[in-house]
Every structure is written in C-alpha cells, then in structure tokens.
Structure 1
Amino acid sequence: MNLNLRQAILSNVSGHNADQLQATIDDALQKGEEKMLPGLGVFFELLWKESDQQEKQEMLQTLEECVQKTNPQQ
C-alpha cells in the first residue's frame, strides 16, 4: 500500500478558511495525541516554505525561546 501522508493531510484541509484551520490546529493541540503531529508538521512545512528569511529568523527565535522554557536545564 502506497500512502502519501502529506497529500492526505493537505486533501483533508483543502478549501478550509483561516477559522477552520485554526480550529484544526487548536483541536490537535488540545487533544495532544501523537497521531496529530504529522498534520502539524505538514502545516509547519507549508509555512516555512512560504516564509522569507526574516520570517524564518523570527520563527526560529520563537522556537528557541519555547524550547528553552520547556527544557530549562539547557
């Protein structure tokens, strides 16, 4: 069986507006289920590919801050 997970995820949200996308993200975060991680990863991949260098730097700074808060011993 040849399953393209990325395409399946994109197909599931095709045509969604901003409110629907936010609801999908909020739902994934609230449930905290491991199976939701690939979908969030696909969303991040889309965001990353469409971002310019300054936006990427801002995302990286935010991620670094979040990781440090989550792992304070580092």
Structure 2
Amino acid sequence: MNLNLRHAIIQNVTGNTQDELKDTIVDAISNGEEKMLPGLGVLFEVIWQNASQEDQQEMLEMLESGLKG
C-alpha cells in the first residue's frame, strides 16, 4: 500500500471519538465497497500495533473462528 494513502487515512481519523471511529468502521463494512478495504486495513494495522501479545492472540482466535464458516 502506498505510504501516502496510509498517512492520509490515519490523518483523516486522527482525533476522532470512539463513536466516530465506530461509525467509520460500521459504514465501511456495511457498504461492502472494495475501495473501503485499504482504510479498514490501516485501522487494523493501528489496532494490531497497539495491542498486547494477549490481545493479538485473542484477535487471531476470533479471526480463525470467524473463518471456519
């Protein structure tokens, strides 16, 4: 991903409240538009980088469980 796009996405949501961040995530998911995927990826990157090892493990378990169909 282009670093400028990553920076622009982060800059766009920096300072948002938790409600605003949630609205951004829910809107991106509910729209189902592929153009929103890079933004969600950047947000996940921020979450991952700021999560403890235990939180990362929990996310991996949730992801694995969600992908089992």
Q: TM-score, normalised by structure 2?
A: 0.92
Give the distance between the partners of 2:49 and 2:25, measured in 1 at CA.
Answer: 18
Runs of 5+ unmatched residues, structure 1: 70-74
Residue in 2 aligned with 1:53?
Answer: 53
CA drift at 1:15: 1.1
Give the distance between the partners of 1:56 and 1:11, measured in 2 at CA.
Answer: 24
Q: Which amino acid aligns with 1:29?
A: I
For residues 1-20 of structure 1, the aligned pairs below 5 Å read 4-20=4-20
Q: TM-score, normalised by structure 1?
A: 0.87
Identity %: 54
**RMSD, aligned α-carbons:** 1.3
Q: Secondary structure at the match of 1:15?
A: coil
CA deviations on 1:10-48 (whole Å, 9 max, x unpaired) are 111121000000000010011000000000000100010
CA drift at 1:3: 6.5
Q: Which has the higher contact order (CA 8 A, sep 6+)?
A: 2
Matched residue count:
68
Runs of 5+ unmatched residues, structure 2: none
Residue in 2 aligned with 1:25?
Answer: 25
Which runs of at least 4 in structure 1 moved beyond 4 Å after TM superposition?
Answer: none
Greater C-alpha radius of gyration: 1
